[in-house]
Amino acid sequence: MKGKVLGKATELALNPEQYDKLQKFTVGQGGNQSLCRRVYDSVKTKDGNLFAYVYESDMERISKLVERPDDGSWQDLFREILNANKRSS
């Protein structure tokens, strides 16, 4: 059985520290473990670098949540990842 297609995937580069931090947000308290788990599970190594492949629906959700002024470790991590990817584009 094939998995459900959730739209086009966005490739996001991560460094090893960001990957380790992301793993920590897949468990514990809070409301976004499943989102963080999907992103974490999508990470692949390409040419020695880490890349997450984030489906369009999740990318829209992440973008909306990090644009809000909320403080939070997982939001800060995604802000860092998104900003680093904007600079390298």
Answer whether residue 3 is part of any domain: no
Number of domains composing the chain? 1
CB 10 within 8 A of CB 53: yes
Distance CA 17, CA 21 (A): 6
- Give me the residues of the chain with pLDDT under 70, please: 1-7, 29-30, 89
Q: What 3-state DSSP class applies to 15?
A: coil
Name the pTM for this structure.
0.85
In a domain, 55, yes or no: yes
Q: What amino acid occupies position 6?
A: L
Q: Is residue 44 part of a domain?
A: yes
4: in domain: no
* Interval 24-42: pLDDT, tens: 999 976 678 999 999 999 9
Could you give the 3-state DSSP secondary structure of residue 77?
Answer: helix
Domain that holds residue 30: 9-88
